[in-house]
Amino acid sequence: MNNLQGKVAIVTGGGRDIGRQISILLAKAGAKVCFNYFDSEEQAAETKEMIAEAGGEAIAVQGDMTKADQVQKMVSACVEQFGQQIDIVVNVVGGLVARKTIEEMDVEFWDFVMDVNLKSAFLVSKYSVPFMSPGGAIVNFSSQAARDGGGPGAIAYATAKGAVLTFTRGLAKELGPKGIRVNAVSPGMIATTFHDTFTKSEVREKVAGMTPLRREGKAEEVAELVKFLASPEASFVTGASMEINGGTYFI
Protein backbone atom coordinates (compact mmCIF):
# COMPACT_ATOMS: atom_id res chain seq x y z
CA MET A 1 0.00 0.00 0.00
CA ASN A 2 1.53 3.29 -1.15
CA ASN A 3 -0.17 5.40 1.51
CA LEU A 4 2.99 7.48 2.00
CA GLN A 5 3.37 8.48 -1.63
CA GLY A 6 4.94 11.92 -1.94
CA LYS A 7 6.06 12.01 1.70
CA VAL A 8 9.61 12.68 2.88
CA ALA A 9 10.92 10.76 5.87
CA ILE A 10 13.97 11.06 8.11
CA VAL A 11 15.05 7.89 9.92
CA THR A 12 17.98 8.04 12.33
CA GLY A 13 19.97 4.88 12.87
CA GLY A 14 18.80 3.55 9.53
CA GLY A 15 21.90 1.57 8.69
CA ARG A 16 20.93 -1.65 10.43
CA ASP A 17 18.37 -3.66 12.37
CA ILE A 18 15.13 -1.85 13.21
CA GLY A 19 16.18 1.44 11.58
CA ARG A 20 16.98 -0.41 8.35
CA GLN A 21 13.62 -2.19 8.27
CA ILE A 22 11.78 1.07 8.95
CA SER A 23 13.65 2.82 6.14
CA ILE A 24 12.84 0.02 3.69
CA LEU A 25 9.18 -0.19 4.67
CA LEU A 26 8.58 3.56 4.47
CA ALA A 27 10.22 3.59 1.05
CA LYS A 28 8.05 0.69 -0.10
CA ALA A 29 5.02 2.71 1.01
CA GLY A 30 6.10 5.54 -1.30
CA ALA A 31 8.11 7.84 0.96
CA LYS A 32 11.44 9.32 -0.03
CA VAL A 33 13.78 8.40 2.78
CA CYS A 34 16.75 10.22 4.26
CA PHE A 35 18.36 7.86 6.73
CA ASN A 36 21.23 8.55 9.06
CA TYR A 37 24.06 6.26 10.12
CA PHE A 38 27.00 6.75 12.46
CA ASP A 39 29.89 4.38 11.93
CA SER A 40 29.11 1.76 9.30
CA GLU A 41 29.23 3.07 5.76
CA GLU A 42 29.06 -0.49 4.46
CA GLN A 43 25.81 -1.25 6.29
CA ALA A 44 24.34 2.08 5.16
CA ALA A 45 25.20 1.20 1.56
CA GLU A 46 23.42 -2.13 2.01
CA THR A 47 20.30 -0.39 3.32
CA LYS A 48 20.31 2.02 0.41
CA GLU A 49 20.69 -0.85 -2.05
CA MET A 50 17.80 -2.73 -0.45
CA ILE A 51 15.60 0.36 -0.79
CA ALA A 52 16.56 0.75 -4.45
CA GLU A 53 15.81 -2.92 -5.09
CA ALA A 54 12.37 -2.37 -3.54
CA GLY A 55 11.77 0.49 -5.97
CA GLY A 56 12.27 3.23 -3.41
CA GLU A 57 14.40 6.35 -3.25
CA ALA A 58 16.80 7.18 -0.42
CA ILE A 59 19.93 8.99 0.63
CA ALA A 60 22.26 8.05 3.48
CA VAL A 61 23.84 10.76 5.63
CA GLN A 62 26.59 10.05 8.15
CA GLY A 63 26.46 11.91 11.43
CA ASP A 64 26.44 11.88 15.22
CA MET A 65 22.88 12.68 16.27
CA THR A 66 24.04 13.92 19.67
CA LYS A 67 25.79 16.88 17.98
CA ALA A 68 23.64 19.83 16.93
CA ASP A 69 25.77 20.79 13.94
CA GLN A 70 25.73 17.25 12.55
CA VAL A 71 21.97 16.98 13.00
CA GLN A 72 21.54 20.25 11.12
CA LYS A 73 23.78 18.90 8.37
CA MET A 74 21.65 15.78 8.08
CA VAL A 75 18.37 17.72 7.95
CA SER A 76 19.84 20.14 5.38
CA ALA A 77 20.96 17.25 3.18
CA CYS A 78 17.45 15.83 3.29
CA VAL A 79 15.64 19.02 2.29
CA GLU A 80 18.23 19.80 -0.37
CA GLN A 81 17.68 16.39 -1.92
CA PHE A 82 13.91 16.07 -1.59
CA GLY A 83 12.58 19.62 -1.23
CA GLN A 84 11.73 21.96 1.65
CA GLN A 85 9.42 19.49 3.32
CA ILE A 86 9.73 16.81 5.98
CA ASP A 87 6.64 14.74 6.72
CA ILE A 88 7.93 11.93 8.91
CA VAL A 89 10.68 11.79 11.54
CA VAL A 90 11.63 8.50 13.19
CA ASN A 91 14.12 8.78 16.04
CA VAL A 92 15.58 5.29 16.26
CA VAL A 93 19.09 6.22 17.47
CA GLY A 94 19.75 4.95 20.98
CA GLY A 95 21.36 2.17 22.90
CA LEU A 96 22.29 0.59 26.20
CA VAL A 97 26.00 1.30 25.57
CA ALA A 98 27.05 -1.02 28.43
CA ARG A 99 25.57 -2.70 31.49
CA LYS A 100 26.74 -0.79 34.57
CA THR A 101 25.43 -0.44 38.09
CA ILE A 102 25.20 3.00 39.65
CA GLU A 103 28.43 2.30 41.55
CA GLU A 104 30.24 1.24 38.38
CA MET A 105 29.22 4.12 36.13
CA ASP A 106 30.83 7.52 36.12
CA VAL A 107 29.24 10.85 35.25
CA GLU A 108 30.59 10.73 31.70
CA PHE A 109 28.90 7.38 31.07
CA TRP A 110 25.57 8.62 32.46
CA ASP A 111 25.71 11.75 30.30
CA PHE A 112 26.60 9.76 27.19
CA VAL A 113 23.67 7.37 27.61
CA MET A 114 21.33 10.34 28.10
CA ASP A 115 22.72 12.04 25.01
CA VAL A 116 22.44 8.99 22.76
CA ASN A 117 18.87 8.14 23.74
CA LEU A 118 17.26 11.46 24.69
CA LYS A 119 19.28 14.37 23.37
CA SER A 120 19.38 12.81 19.91
CA ALA A 121 15.56 12.71 19.76
CA PHE A 122 15.39 16.31 20.97
CA LEU A 123 17.91 17.60 18.40
CA VAL A 124 16.48 15.76 15.41
CA SER A 125 12.96 16.85 16.30
CA LYS A 126 14.04 20.45 16.95
CA TYR A 127 15.72 20.89 13.59
CA SER A 128 13.10 18.96 11.60
CA VAL A 129 9.96 20.65 12.93
CA PRO A 130 10.51 23.94 11.00
CA PHE A 131 10.14 21.91 7.78
CA MET A 132 7.03 20.04 8.93
CA SER A 133 3.43 20.97 8.22
CA PRO A 134 -0.03 19.70 9.23
CA GLY A 135 -0.22 15.95 8.73
CA GLY A 136 3.37 15.44 9.82
CA ALA A 137 4.36 12.70 12.26
CA ILE A 138 7.23 12.11 14.66
CA VAL A 139 7.87 8.63 16.08
CA ASN A 140 10.30 8.34 18.98
CA PHE A 141 11.84 5.15 20.30
CA SER A 142 11.40 4.34 23.96
CA SER A 143 11.61 0.82 25.42
CA GLN A 144 9.90 -1.64 27.70
CA ALA A 145 12.75 -0.70 30.06
CA ALA A 146 11.07 2.69 30.51
CA ARG A 147 8.15 0.88 32.15
CA ASP A 148 9.89 -1.82 34.18
CA GLY A 149 13.33 -0.31 34.90
CA GLY A 150 15.20 -2.62 32.53
CA GLY A 151 17.47 -5.55 33.27
CA PRO A 152 20.63 -5.64 35.38
CA GLY A 153 22.92 -2.69 34.74
CA ALA A 154 20.38 -0.83 32.60
CA ILE A 155 19.40 1.97 34.98
CA ALA A 156 20.83 4.76 32.81
CA TYR A 157 19.23 3.35 29.67
CA ALA A 158 15.86 2.80 31.36
CA THR A 159 15.92 6.33 32.77
CA ALA A 160 16.69 7.84 29.37
CA LYS A 161 13.91 5.85 27.70
CA GLY A 162 11.49 6.94 30.42
CA ALA A 163 12.42 10.52 29.60
CA VAL A 164 11.72 9.83 25.93
CA LEU A 165 8.12 8.97 26.89
CA THR A 166 7.74 12.27 28.74
CA PHE A 167 9.37 14.17 25.86
CA THR A 168 6.93 12.49 23.47
CA ARG A 169 3.87 13.49 25.46
CA GLY A 170 5.03 17.06 25.97
CA LEU A 171 5.92 17.50 22.32
CA ALA A 172 2.58 15.99 21.26
CA LYS A 173 0.80 18.72 23.22
CA GLU A 174 3.06 21.41 21.82
CA LEU A 175 2.80 20.38 18.17
CA GLY A 176 -0.79 19.16 18.16
CA PRO A 177 -2.25 22.59 17.33
CA LYS A 178 0.05 22.63 14.29
CA GLY A 179 -1.38 19.35 13.09
CA ILE A 180 1.80 17.38 13.80
CA ARG A 181 1.46 14.11 15.70
CA VAL A 182 4.10 12.72 18.08
CA ASN A 183 4.10 9.13 19.33
CA ALA A 184 6.52 6.62 20.80
CA VAL A 185 7.20 2.95 20.18
CA SER A 186 8.34 0.86 23.15
CA PRO A 187 9.81 -2.47 22.06
CA GLY A 188 10.45 -5.41 24.33
CA MET A 189 12.92 -8.10 23.33
CA ILE A 190 13.45 -7.82 19.59
CA ALA A 191 15.95 -10.04 17.76
CA THR A 192 18.62 -7.46 16.87
CA THR A 193 22.33 -6.86 17.39
CA PHE A 194 21.34 -4.94 20.56
CA HIS A 195 20.57 -8.21 22.32
CA ASP A 196 23.30 -10.07 20.44
CA THR A 197 25.70 -7.67 22.16
CA PHE A 198 24.18 -7.09 25.60
CA THR A 199 22.00 -10.09 26.48
CA LYS A 200 23.22 -13.61 27.13
CA SER A 201 21.63 -16.33 24.99
CA GLU A 202 20.25 -18.17 28.02
CA VAL A 203 18.58 -14.97 29.23
CA ARG A 204 17.04 -14.41 25.82
CA GLU A 205 15.70 -17.96 25.77
CA LYS A 206 14.24 -17.54 29.25
CA VAL A 207 12.55 -14.24 28.41
CA ALA A 208 11.18 -15.62 25.14
CA GLY A 209 9.84 -18.65 27.01
CA MET A 210 8.03 -16.41 29.51
CA THR A 211 6.53 -14.23 26.79
CA PRO A 212 2.89 -15.11 26.00
CA LEU A 213 3.77 -15.44 22.30
CA ARG A 214 6.80 -17.59 23.25
CA ARG A 215 9.32 -15.83 21.01
CA GLU A 216 11.35 -12.69 20.43
CA GLY A 217 9.99 -9.99 18.18
CA LYS A 218 11.28 -9.17 14.72
CA ALA A 219 12.63 -5.86 13.44
CA GLU A 220 10.12 -6.04 10.59
CA GLU A 221 7.25 -6.18 13.09
CA VAL A 222 8.45 -3.03 14.82
CA ALA A 223 8.78 -1.34 11.42
CA GLU A 224 5.14 -2.14 10.62
CA LEU A 225 4.02 -0.42 13.81
CA VAL A 226 6.14 2.64 13.02
CA LYS A 227 4.71 2.78 9.51
CA PHE A 228 1.19 2.78 10.95
CA LEU A 229 1.97 5.62 13.34
CA ALA A 230 3.52 7.61 10.49
CA SER A 231 0.58 7.04 8.17
CA PRO A 232 -2.78 8.81 7.69
CA GLU A 233 -4.44 5.75 9.24
CA ALA A 234 -3.15 6.95 12.63
CA SER A 235 -4.40 10.51 12.13
CA PHE A 236 -6.04 10.72 15.59
CA VAL A 237 -3.23 9.02 17.51
CA THR A 238 -0.80 11.32 19.31
CA GLY A 239 1.02 11.35 22.63
CA ALA A 240 0.77 7.56 22.76
CA SER A 241 3.33 4.89 23.61
CA MET A 242 2.69 1.77 21.60
CA GLU A 243 4.02 -1.31 23.38
CA ILE A 244 5.38 -4.10 21.17
CA ASN A 245 6.63 -6.89 23.41
CA GLY A 246 4.65 -10.03 22.69
CA GLY A 247 2.62 -9.57 25.86
CA THR A 248 5.59 -9.51 28.23
CA TYR A 249 4.45 -6.25 29.79
CA PHE A 250 0.98 -4.71 29.94
CA ILE A 251 0.09 -1.12 30.76
CA distance 204 to 229: 28
CA distance 5 to 79: 17
Q: Which of 37, 127, 157, 249 is catalytic?
A: 157
Clarify whether 157 is annotated catalytic: yes
- Would you name the residues annotated as active-site residues? 157
